[in-house]
Every structure is written in structure tokens, then in C-alpha cells.
Chain A
């Protein structure tokens, strides 16, 4: 009898999915997607997560977690499950689940919706949950250490090096999104720039004036942010100040690189910590507001269920649905980066093994819900506006007339007047070719928020609020990531040169910071100067790397199941592993070897190389130097893809070898920490 409500919920979900799948031509309300997703998530949580907990992991509420066995009141603290859910969700949700689905909307809303729902239930949430479980049983050790413990030292080092490269790509692509959102936008640039003195003031406040008063200082900071958004309009309109905050993408790129280096060397209390308060609370608030806004507004979807770009040739990113959709939406469906979080602070804070499904599986479902909202946001816009914003300038030209002409020719009729009017509504000079996903989402959020509060007059405010919200937490990720990357690199080099480890002297820190910033700065600069907009090139590389890390995490989980002698349940991790390997290996090798120059890096390099030999400059390059830069960048990207492929194939080899060895044993061989009972109260 207890199953009846769940059966009803499952039927509701199935009906909603069916409505989405069969409707063609008529307008479908966005709430169908939201209800379909929520019902599927709840049913999956109630049955699949519980099945994994009971049968696959055999969680034991009487077994003490690291928070109990190693309690220190600092890192290891048994925490209320709802409090910990908030902590874990805030750590995993970022720009990824917002940007990927917006880009994926170029194929229509249906493929992205289905992949997010099924991907998270069968792969993403399973991965987070399994890694949390594995780390929780091993004193909260990190992913690199876990791979080393269960698969050997070589595999551990490969995984660590892979994770560092992925970090570099993530930082570059995130920074690129900020550059695309803030270039030539004095209003946006002013508000984001204003957060730096604001954060410094907050840092001084929490250091000397009222130490530890986070709530107080965050409220003050928030008031400052709103003032900056309001005042930004006057700055942008001013003839003196407007041009001072108007930057070309190249200049912004250098500013960001310098900023990243500085932020990772400054004391954390001065800049990083206070900005973290602002961005974390703003992120949670804006996501909640977006959910409420979508439900209140109940907008119709204007993007078709499927567009003609399913077969490839889309303007926002190239390639066909398989395999490229499955790497474009990485975070939100399955994200390898979460393996680093689920083996970070969370396993040290979990109070009971029985909380693990709620934290590990549940928080990832919540992130998938964020991804669904981003997809809805992109799909409620006029498709003409969507494609005018997300196609490269090389396709659209630079003025509204040429853009309207090009987008109408794609089959999405739009007038130049509408493009001009939309730009005016949101307080920008132009919306043509504002690639990267963030501006598109900001237009959608302005649409939703102004419908709920303020009307058209408030659209410009809400647009810049949304840009600030995205830029702020991306920047926090960039400098926290640079700092983390710096320590990863010090550890990695420390394996060969022990004196390079953290804490010995200041020099290795500066060297590692410089190496880290230069690595992501290189890819950022390449993306910024890429005439196709950069997102086109970098987002797939990021997606491939992130999904490969997910495959690595799932391979670790498979190994652990075999070593626990639980191999008859290993299908739970083997199925998503195989799917991710198929997607990433085929996407990776297509990026490397495809003869289509819009997809394959080497084919693209060969095309431009031939141009150089013949002495002709090929569009979109404008000079021989640009031609040479394109060829060089293509080769670097190809090399990177090859490294990612090598990492994943070698770890697959270690996985198979370890699983075979485990099968030959007649008892469990895992390296779990010894079981201790939960102490009686």
C-alpha cells in the first residue's frame, strides 16, 4: 500500500514525458518539463537510491562514519543531514549546469531534457553517491588517494594529472564565459568590477571590525551589490565613465589572467572569503527565485522540440546529437568534477551512513533540476533571439540587419527591429553574437523575473542582476580553482621533487601559481581570439574532459564493488561507465580525427596549413599570423584530446586488471577503514 503514491507519481511523470515527446508544432507549457523531471527524480530517489544503498553498498547505520571516529570539531564534524545537503549542493552547483543546457537548446528542448533526466538518474547521481560512499568508508580520502589505494600508485598519479588538466580547461572555459558576457558591456563590467572593492571592504570588516559576523557582512555586501547594479546604468550612460568600463575581449582576457594570479596569492580573508559569501548566497537565492518564477509564470516553450541541427551543423557548437549532446550537457546530467567534491569535505561531515543517499544522490538530483530550469530558460526565448545570440559573428555579421537575415535563413524568422528592441530592453548595445550561454540565460531570467516583479521597465535591472550572479560565482570558481590547481600542481611536482610541496617556502607557491594561471590563460586567450567565438572550440573539450573524469570515478566505483565481492551488482556502475566511455571515446576521437574541419582539430589544422602553403588567407582569419595561430591552437587542442583519451584508456586497463584480480580472490580485498560501531549515546 505504501507504494501507491509513488506509482501515481511515476504515472504523472510518464504522462508528462509522453506529452513532451509527441507534441509537435503546438506550444507546450514549460511546466510539463518541470513536472516530468521532478516526478522522475522523486521516484528514482525513493527506489533506485534506496536499492543502491541497501543492496549494492549495504550501508550500515550502526557503522561509525569518519565524523564520529575522527571527530575533531573542525574538519570532522557530524552534521545534520539537511545542513549538510545545503553545504554539498552549494559546492557542486555552479555555472556548468546553467551553461551546458542553454547551449544544448540549439537541438531543441527534447534531447536535452531526456538526457538530463535519464543521465542524472542512471549516471550522475550514481557517481556522486558511489564516490561519497567510497570516501566515507576510507576516512574521507580524496579521489586521487582513493584511486591509488584501490587501483595502485600509477593509476593514482594518472588520475591526479588528468584532474589537473581538467581543472585548467574548466577555468579557461569559465573565464571565457565571463569575457563573452562582459566585453563591450560597461554596465555589466562596472557591477562586476565593483564587487572587488566591495569584497575588500567586507574582508576588512570580518577581519578587524566584527570578526566572524558572516550574516551581517553579507547583508551589507548585498546592499552594495544592488547599489552597484542600479548605479551601473548611470555609469554606462556617462560619456566619461562609460568608455572607461568598455573593454575589448582581448583586454578583458589580460585583466582576468592578472586578477586570477593576484587572487590566488592574496590572503584568503581579504578577497576570496568575502566574495565567496556573496556569490554563494546570491547563487542559492537566484536559483530559488528562478524556480519560483518559472512556476508562477508558467511560460510556453517557443523553441521547437527538435531543430534541424540534430544532425550536426549547428551554429553554437558543431557536431551531431550523438555523441556531442552528451558532452555538451555535462554538469546537470553527469559531472566528473563532483567526484572531487564528494571526496572532499562532505564525507568528513556526514553523521550517519544512512544519510548518504540523501546527500550523495539527492543533491545531484537537485543540480539536475537547476539544469532543467536553465534549459527551460533558453527554450522560452524566441528561437530567432536564441540563435542571434548564440551564433558566431563569422556567421551573423555584426549588425542587427545582417544577423536577422542570417537567422531567418536558418529557418527561425526574426526581424532586425526585434533584436534592437530586445537589446534596448535589457540595457545593452547589442545582443548579436553574445555567445557563451550566460547572456542568453540572463535574457531569459530577465524575462521571467520582470514578469513576476517590475514589468518591462525592470528588465534591464534583472538582466544585469543575472549577469552579476553568473559572473560572480564564475569568478569565485576561477580564483578558488586557481588556488586549488596551484596546490594540486605542487603535490604533483612534489612526487618527483619533494621540496616543491606546499609549506616549504614561498617560491614553489609562486611558480605553481604562475604555471597554473599561464595554462588556463593560454586556452582563454586562444578562445578569446578565436574568430568562431571560442566557446565553439573550448566547450566540447571541457565536456569531454569532465565526462572522462566521471568515467574514471565510475571505474573506481566498479573496482571497489568487485573488490567488495559485490560484483553481481556491478551493473549499477558498469552501465553508466560503458555509456560514458562510448560517448567520450567517440567524441574525443572525432575531435581528433574527423575529416570534417568544423569538427576535427587536425582536419582544421590541415585545411589552414594547406592555406598557408598556398599563400592564401582563409576566412575567418585576416592575416598569415592568424592563420599560423589557428594551426598552432588546433594542434594543442588535438594534443589535449589525445592526452585525455590516453588517461581514460590507461585507467580502463587498470580497472579491468584490478577487477580480474579481485575475481580470483575468494574474499573481499577492499581497503576500507576498520568498521567501528556508532557509540551509544
Chain B
């Protein structure tokens, strides 16, 4: 749990949950690999207006 907490603090949700979601909701699509997923989340955290943190 601590590992998940620390990873989410820097914007990285668990890859396993993503895989499970893809298997359930989009069984035909190819999910991103672990590295692609990591880069996707990294970009999402800082790439848009949502990257702001508090003072």
C-alpha cells in the first residue's frame, strides 16, 4: 500500500489496475506496455493545466 501511495503522489496509478480495466472493458484493444503507461502518466501529470500544485 505504501508503494502505491508513494507512486500516486507523483502521479503514477497502478499499472495492474489499468491492465485489468483494459481486459474487462476493451478486450480487443492492445493495452500500453508498462513503459508506455509510465510515460503516458508522466506526460499527463505535467503536460496540461492540471499539473499545478499548491503553494
Contact = CB atoms under 8 A, between A and B. Distances in A.
Interface of A: 71-75, 77, 79-80, 82-84, 86-87, 90-96, 142, 167, 170, 173-174, 206, 211-212, 214-215, 268-269, 272-273, 276-277, 280-281, 284, 331, 335, 337-338, 340-341, 344-345, 349, 476-477, 480-481, 483-485, 487-488, 491, 502, 542, 546
B17 A73 contact: yes
Nearest to B3: A215
A75 B47 CA distance: 13
Interface string B4-29: 11111111111001111110010000
A96 B55 contact: yes
A502 B48 contact: yes
A488 B1 CA distance: 34
Interface of B: 1, 3-14, 17-22, 25, 34-35, 38-55
A272 B52 contact: no
Contacts of B17: 73, 77
In this complex, the member of B11, B14, B46 whose beta carbon has the largest number of chain A beta carbons within 10 angstroms is: B46
A83 B1 contact: yes
Given A82-B1, A167-B52, A331-B55, 13 more contacts: A73-B13, A74-B40, A82-B5, A86-B8, A94-B55, A212-B35, A268-B42, A269-B42, A276-B45, A341-B52, A480-B51, A484-B51, A542-B55
B55 A83 contact: no
Contact of A90 (B9, B41, B49): B9
A477 B53 contact: yes
Contacts of B42: 268-269, 273
Given A268-B43, A331-B54, A281 B6 contact: yes
Contacts of A331: 54-55
A277 B19 CA distance: 24
Contacts, number: 136
Nearest to A269: B42
B39 A269 contact: yes
B54 A491 contact: no
B50 to A, nearest CB: 5
B12 to A, nearest CB: 7
Given A280-B10, A284-B9, A344 B46 contact: no
A550 B38 CA distance: 34
Contacts of A91: 53-54
Instruction: Tell me whether chain B's interface is mostly helix, strand or loop, or mixed.
Output: helix
B38 A83 contact: no
Contacts of B19: 73
A483 B3 CA distance: 28
A85 to B, nearest CB: 8
A167 B44 CA distance: 20
Instruction: Tell me whether chain A's interface is mostly helix, strand or loop, or mixed.
Output: helix
Contacts of B49: 142, 484, 487-488, 491
B5 to A, nearest CB: 4
In this complex, the member of B47, B50, B51 whose beta carbon has the largest number of chain A beta carbons within 10 angstroms is: B51
A614 B24 CA distance: 79
B54 A75 contact: no
Contact of B8 (A84, A476, A477): A84
Going nearest first, the 7 A-B pairs with the smallest beta carbon separation are: A73-B18, A73-B21, A487-B49, A484-B52, A96-B55, A212-B38, A268-B46
Nearest to B47: A268
In this complex, the member of A83, A90, A173, A502 whose beta carbon has the largest number of chain B beta carbons within 10 angstroms is: A83
A421 B9 CA distance: 40
Contacts of A79: 8, 13
Nearest to B25: A71
Contacts of A212: 12, 34-35, 38
A360 to B, nearest CB: 14
A94 B41 contact: no
B6 to A, nearest CB: 7
Nearest to B13: A77
Contact of B54 (A74, A94, A142, A502): A94
5 contacts: A79-B8, A82-B1, A86-B8, A91-B53, A269-B39
Contacts of B11: 276, 345
A7 B36 CA distance: 53
Contact of A96 (B7, B34, B46, B54): B54
A87 B46 contact: no
B4 A340 contact: no
B40 A337 contact: no
Contacts of A82: 1, 5
A74 B41 contact: yes
Contacts of B9: 86-87, 90, 280-281, 284
